[in-house]
Amino acid sequence: MEIKPPHTTRGTMKRITASLAILTITFWICFPLRSLPNEDPWKTVDEGLFVREFDSPQKSRIKDSKITIVRIDPKFYSFKLLCASEHGKSKMTLKKWCQKHNLICALNAGMYQKDGMTNVGYMKNFNHINNPRLANTYKSVLAFNPAESTIPEIQIIDLTCQDFRSTQLKYQTLIQSIRMISCQQENVWSKQDKTFGMAVFGIDKSGNALFIFTESPYSAYDLINILLSLPISIYNAMYLEGGPEANLYFSLNEFQFKRIGRYTTNTESDTLTVARPIPNVIGIVKKSK
């Protein structure tokens, strides 16, 4: 015996369609669409300028365990080294450095000696020499402002696998500091107990500059492993500063933020949130078209 479907009137069909629409809307409200796996999670602030905040896979004892990274395409931005020794011998907060010199973003240019002005390693900016001595123990030199058009606009020279003396003459700005990730993409630090917030300079495999910052305290060894595990294609990196002296400042139109490092040991913590004046900074400005 043939079973015939029940007769459906036009009014019934309209009621069914309306019900399905309501159910669909309710489903998407309750279960919103997640980001697609291939969606770019970097925030585009401007052409060639991106910001992303990563949740560290290793949690810190204090703060939020975030790693803030500013990715800069050197085709669109120029890099500047500003030294108090060259600009009136006056240390300033990063915000004041940025406001005075129209920098979009800046961070520490490195650790400094007891005189409060001189970088711990070699530092040169065009004709100004902040520190003429190349330190034997520091194996990284950040180089930018090239004197030739055929070389990278910015790079971290690894003194263990590159000839610094021949490369030195090709750049107007050179900043020496402690190597963190080698030219073989290896962690070159040993394990340590001290933990602190850090400012780090990195270069990715596409030649972009990375301003890397964590307010949350980590050992340098652990932070390097974290950076190597993140999807940022990091090539090499050098240490700039740690603890409350470490700062990152960003301001472009309505998008603004600042970061200040923390310092902890097993028995104490420094929760100072006031930016300290620093003598030497690396900043960026947009190139004119």
Name, in order, each residue with C-beta under 8 angstroms of 53's C-beta and a sequence gap of 6 or more: 66, 67, 68, 69
Distances (CA, A) of 90 to 86, 94, 117, 154, 211: 9, 12, 9, 27, 24
| Burial grade of 156 (CB within 10 A; 0-12, 13-18, 19 or more) | buried
pLDDT of residue 13: 53
Asked whether residue 32 is domain-assigned, the answer is no
Residue 183 structure tokens: 């030219």
Q: What is the pTM of this model?
A: 0.85
State the DSSP H helix or E strand holding residue 98, giving kind and residue range, or none if neither: helix 94-101
Asked whether residue 55 is domain-assigned, the answer is yes
Range of the structural domain that residue 274 is part of:
43-286
Distances (CA, A) of 170 to 150, 155, 164: 10, 12, 10
Q: Which residues pair with 80 in a beta bridge?
A: 283
Contact 267, 221 (CB under 8 A): no
Distances (CA, A) of 276 to 68, 96, 108, 247: 19, 11, 11, 8
pLDDT of residue 222: 98
pLDDT of residue 34: 39
- Give me the DSSP letters along 110-166: --B-TTSSSBSS-EEETTEEEE-PPPTT--EEEEEEESSTTS-SEEEEETTTS-HHH
| Burial grade of 179 (CB within 10 A; 0-12, 13-18, 19 or more) | buried
pLDDT tens, per residue, the chain with 289 residues: 444 444 545 555 555 455 554 544 444 444 443 333 445 699 999 999 999 999 999 999 888 999 999 999 999 999 999 999 999 999 999 999 999 999 999 999 999 999 999 999 999 999 999 999 999 999 999 999 999 999 999 999 999 999 999 999 999 999 999 999 999 999 999 999 999 999 999 999 999 999 999 999 999 999 999 999 999 999 999 999 999 999 999 999 999 999 999 887 555 455 556 899 999 999 999 999 7
Asked whether residue 116 is domain-assigned, the answer is yes
In total, how many domains does the chain have? Answer: 1
Asked whether residue 98 is domain-assigned, the answer is yes
pLDDT, tens digit, 9 for 90 and up, residues 134-147: 999 999 999 999 99
pLDDT of residue 39: 52
Question: Cα separation of 100 and 102, whole Å?
Answer: 6
Q: Tokens 């790079």 belong to which residue?
A: 155
pLDDT of residue 29: 41
Asked whether residue 25 is domain-assigned, the answer is no
How many C-beta atoms lie closer than 10 Å to residue 269's C-beta?
15
Asked whether residue 243 is domain-assigned, the answer is yes
Question: Cα separation of 93 and 101, whole Å?
Answer: 12
Question: Cα separation of 286 and 197, whole Å?
Answer: 28
Asked whether residue 160 is domain-assigned, the answer is yes
pLDDT of residue 33: 38
Asked whether residue 103 is domain-assigned, the answer is yes
